[in-house]
Amino acid sequence: MSTFHATVTPPWDERAWRDVARAAWRAGIAPDQLTWDGDGQASLLAGVDVLAQAPVRLAPHVPPDFLALAGSVLCHRDAQRHGLLYRLLWRIASGERALLERETDADVRRAGELAKAVGRDSHKMKAFVRFREVPGERDAFVAWFEPEHFIVDRVAPFFARRFAGMRWAILTPYRSAFWDGSALGFGGGATRGDAPADDAQDALWRTYYANIFNPARLNPRMMTQEMPQKYWKNLPEARLLPTLLAEAGARVQAMADREAEAPRRRIPERVVEPLPRAEGLPALRAAARECRRCELWQPATQTVFGEGPSSARIMIVGEQPGDAEDLSGRPFVGPAGQLFDRALATHGIDRARLYLTNAVKHFRFEQRGKRRLHRNPAVSHMQACRPWLEREIATVKPRIIVCLGATAARAVFGAGFKLMEQRATWMRLDDGTRAFATVHPSWVLRQASGEARDTAYQSFVDDLALLAELADAAQDASS
Amino acid sequence: MQLLDKLAVLADAAKYDASCASSGADRRHSLGTGGIGSTEGMGICHSYTPDGRCVSLLKILLTNFCVFDCVYCVNRVSSNVRRARFTPQEVVTLTLDFYKRNYIEGLFLSSGIIRNGDYTMEQLVEVARSLREDHKFRGYIHLKTIPDASPELLAAAGRYADRLSINVELPTEEGLAALAPEKKLPDIRTAMGELRWRIEENVDARKAEAKTRAKPPRFAPAGQSTQMIVGADGADDRDILRTSTNLYGNYRLRRVYYSAFSPIPDASARLPLQAPPLVREHRLYQADWLLRFYGFDVEEIAPADGAGMLDLDVDPKTAWALRHPERFPVDINRAPREVLLRVPGLGARTVERILGSRRHARLRVADLTTLRVPLRKVLPFVTTLDHHPKRRLDDPARMRAQFAPPPRQESLFG
């Protein structure tokens, strides 16, 4: 038996509804005792106004997501929405704190449906409002729109954020919104005749619309689902629809029936740059770019060829490019490369004087979701890539080669090389080049604890001391 | 040539690019800037054409003159299509005029290759620069990137655009060699690698400077995407999905678009006679979603021992479930999220609703109805308090027949 009534003005306003609902709750008025007047005709209702009731308890506490839900439900045209929300409020405040999670509940479900309808209508308003320029005024626009629900107040701030630099008005049958370039204002309803009937740009827009449509993919069901017919009357492009739909079949048939024609004319061919000389690093690099000697090229981005002066006295050979190297196309730029740079710097060695390359020139990895995990190259990959390394050595003719890690050492010294036993020991290659091997900087990075990593890093730096002595000697010799 | 005619030619030339997304940009607005434009994360479709595709961006080519000869493309050098060329200024004005009338979310600008990659890219960048700097335009900009353009132009493009994209066009290198002789897979992949490198470097740099005022400007905040043409070469769905997985992983692409090869006017005699069914493209999108959001991998969706093609009659998740009856039925009331996600008919949103609701009460079939679960599809694979599919799962072939559309009568003239 309802003995109380409540009025919300304007009926879509969240603050207004909250004031009334709070008063009703504080007066202890149960949902079934209260009649909500949906459209603001309070005088016709019997019963006592809830705002006149004295509070008997504290204001209710509700979670913020309830208020967000209420904000959109209130914009719906459904006359029962105020009562529905009050029922939810009553239940939540009476102890069903997690009620909104329970989407199988009839009230929760209904509120969800109303909110969804309002959300959809709001979204369509953002999409389908069409501004028309006011003749004779600069950057002033008026739109006529017919929303299904009371959403003008809700959506107007969106248009203010978007069209801040213009003056505009959106007119609807129940309410209007205005923007003067700095503040948002609202007024009463209007009629279609209050907005300009057409816009000079509409013809261009229709041209675009007609030409971006692909008649070979006709799917009018999908179109009407997303752009319901009730919106068509205010869309300048919609008047083309009957013609576009009717002619689509014939256009596709015409395309199919037409024989392939010989080209009538040709645009001049692109100038192809002459090939570089087949000798030297640039030519080698260009050739390696197309390398297909093993399957690693396929999932990788690019060949990461060596880098450095062709006159370098020292050549550094690493294992294979990593994630960063694969993307940038340059060796030793990822975390391991950065650690290597630091180690070089402790000995005062300038990286720019070295020739840096890898035993295998494509990144081998295993894909885990969005991450690419490093995998050691197989012997076959090393073998496939060996000619490139040999050509690099033959071209640069370094006096010293430093192998970083076991893969590089095996590529240079042969399969029997034992890194941990033979590291930091000078060896002499067949052609007289001196060489030694040390760990790969990524091995240092892989050490688990900070302490182990420090020790590993120190040993790596110590190994490179061999190079420092010789680098000095080499520089002396060259100067 | 009149502006209207140019627009007709250059919109027509752009319609075979499937991408129209305007999402993923950072949130920004034009309040207090004197300009116009905003992006709020979610894209808006301002209209729909009768092909069911959304119109979100002004999608046009700067010019459809092109020195390339890609067989599948209506703008190839050997095509007899009408040609036109916009000036950068015309595109800027058109974009602003359309935007002010709320026709569009922004601009998607692409171009045929004229002279060379750098020259073309320079023109595209100039349009974006003018919109951003001369007109304080804060709407969405998507620029197509020319793979062999110089790094400086790429850097400038990323500064002005929300999204950059480079089309791989065809899933295999053989396909590219046969149909797009001037395009080189290594160039395309190198350019994508470069973009990912720059995008991530920019994110890191902005994080590092988060506390100071000297934040570097955003670089392509909506990331990069690409497009593959389906059905123009011999690649099967497994090839296509493996290429996509590789691209998502290597270059962190936001989207791979699949575009069923579509009949074009003045087609080359080297193209297949029949366009692939549109449903193939649809199945690929479904599979793509399963890969990215549902924890599937390519081996599960298109297994090596299968035909290499997705089932056109049932969606790829149902097809997987029918191949794996031993994984079902799944208990709606107990199964963890990742198992629920694998049930045919349950989408990510519905799974969240189920997880939320079952904390309060154990679910029955009636509850699934309230949650708008498609019962016909889901019930054979799940148990609830009052339902068990019993022996239905023992006969996958029969179930497949129930899900597949009824066989259509062969066309008498087909």
Could you tell me if A383 and A366 lie in one domain?
Answer: yes
A361 and A318 Cβ atoms separated by less than 8 Å? no
Instruction: Determine, yes or no, domain membership for A100.
Output: yes
Single-letter amino acid code for the residue at B285: Y
Mind listing the pLDDT tens digit for each residue in B328-380? 999 999 999 999 999 999 999 999 999 999 998 899 999 999 888 999 999 99
Strands (E) in B5-71, as ranges, are: 47-48, 54-55, 57-61
Question: Of A160, A177, A194, which one is at a domain's C-terminal end?
Answer: A194
Instruction: Determine, yes or no, domain membership for A248.
Output: no
Could you tell me if A157 and A102 lie in one domain?
Answer: no
Q: Is A9 on the interface with B (CB under 8 A)?
A: no
pLDDT confidence of residue A362 = 94
Could you tell me if A441 and A394 lie in one domain?
Answer: yes
Can you give the pTM of this predicted structure? 0.83
How far A128 CA lies from chain B's nearest CA (Å)?
6
Mutate to test the interface with B, among A103, A206, A230, A304 (most CBs of B within 10 A): A103
| A205–B67 CB contact, under 8 Å | no
Could you tell me if A135 and A94 lie in one domain?
Answer: no
Residues of chain A with C-beta less than 8 angstroms from the C-beta of B260? 217
Residue A40: is its pLDDT beyond 70?
no
| A213–B49 CB contact, under 8 Å | yes
Mind listing the pLDDT tens digit for each residue in A82-128? 999 999 999 999 999 889 988 889 999 999 999 999 999 999 999 99
Mutate to test the interface with A, among B23, B36, B103, B413 (most CBs of A within 10 A): B103
Instruction: Determine, yes or no, domain membership for A297.
Output: yes
Could you tell me if A357 and A441 lie in one domain?
Answer: yes
For residue B412, the SS3 value is coil
Question: Of A91, A122, A153, which one is at a domain's C-terminal end?
Answer: A122
The angle subtended at Cα A410 by Cα A407 and Cα A416, nearest 5°, is 130
pLDDT confidence of residue B414 = 38
For residue A168, the SS3 value is strand
Mutate to test the interface with A, among B5, B26, B83, B101 (most CBs of A within 10 A): B101
| A264–B80 CB contact, under 8 Å | yes
User: Using CA atoms, how far apart are residues B132 and B95, in angstroms rounded to an integer?
Assistant: 12
Mutate to test the interface with A, among B16, B250, B371 (most CBs of A within 10 A): B250
Could you tell me if A64 and A171 lie in one domain?
Answer: no
Q: Which stretches within A263-356 are classed as H helix?
A: 280-289, 323-328, 335-346
| B101–A201 CB contact, under 8 Å | yes
Residue A216: is its pLDDT beyond 60?
yes
pLDDT band at B407 (very low <50, low <70, confident <90, very high): low
Task: Average the pLDDT over B123-147 and give the result.
Answer: 95
Residues of chain B with C-beta less than 8 angstroms from the C-beta of A211? 7-9, 11-12, 15
CATH of the domain at A344: 3.40.470.10
| A164–B33 CB contact, under 8 Å | yes
| A128–B357 CB contact, under 8 Å | no
| B246–A367 CB contact, under 8 Å | yes
**Average pLDDT of the residues of chain A:** 88
Q: Domain count for chain A, please give it.
A: 4
Q: Is B250 on the interface with A (CB under 8 A)?
A: yes
Omega before residue A10 within 30° of 0, cis: yes
pLDDT band at B408 (very low <50, low <70, confident <90, very high): low
Residue B410: is its pLDDT beyond 70?
no
pLDDT band at B22 (very low <50, low <70, confident <90, very high): confident
Residues of chain A with C-beta less than 8 angstroms from the C-beta of B199? none
Instruction: Determine, yes or no, domain membership for A13.
Output: yes
How far A354 CA lies from chain B's nearest CA (Å)?
24
Could you tell me if A238 and A289 lie in one domain?
Answer: no
- Backbone angles phi and psi of A400, in degrees to 5: -135, 140
Could you tell me if A323 and A453 lie in one domain?
Answer: yes
How far A124 CA lies from chain B's nearest CA (Å)?
8
Instruction: Determine, yes or no, domain membership for A299.
Output: yes
Enumerate residues 27 to 46 of chain A having a beta carbon within 8 A of any beta carbon in chain B: none
Q: Is A123 on the interface with B (CB under 8 A)?
A: yes
Enumerate residues 258 to 317 of chain B having a beta carbon within 8 A of any beta carbon in chain A: 260, 262-269, 275, 278
Could you tell me if A222 and A179 lie in one domain?
Answer: no
Higher pLDDT, A475 or B373: B373
Mind listing the pLDDT tens digit for each residue in B301-336? 998 887 889 999 999 999 999 999 999 999 999 999
Instruction: Determine, yes or no, domain membership for A318.
Output: yes
Q: What's chain B's Rg over C-alpha atoms? A: 24
Instruction: Determine, yes or no, domain membership for A275.
Output: no
Q: Is A227 on the interface with B (CB under 8 A)?
A: yes
User: Using CA atoms, how far apart are residues A333 and A341, in angstroms rounded to an integer?
Assistant: 9
Could you tell me if A212 and A177 lie in one domain?
Answer: no
| B250–A372 CB contact, under 8 Å | yes
The H or E element that residue A419 is part of is helix A419-422
Could you tell me if A155 and A108 lie in one domain?
Answer: no
Q: Which residues contact A144 (CB under 8 A, 6 or more apart)?
A: A171, A172, A190, A192, A194, A195, A234
B233 and B179 Cβ atoms separated by less than 8 Å? yes
Could you tell me if A10 and A96 lie in one domain?
Answer: yes
Instruction: Determine, yes or no, domain membership for A399.
Output: yes
How far B398 CA lies from chain A's nearest CA (Å)?
30
Partners of A176 in the β-ladder: A171, A187
Question: Of A99, A122, A145, which one is at a domain's C-terminal end?
Answer: A122
Residue range of the domain that includes A178: 129-194
User: Using CA atoms, how far apart are residues A282 and A307, in angstroms rounded to an integer?
Assistant: 10
Residue B397: is its pLDDT beyond 70?
yes
Residue A478: is its pLDDT beyond 50?
no
| A266–B78 CB contact, under 8 Å | yes
How is residue B407 written in tokens?
């066989």
Strands across the sheet containing A140-144: A132-133, A140-144, A167-171, A175-179, A184-188
Q: Is A103 on the interface with B (CB under 8 A)?
A: yes
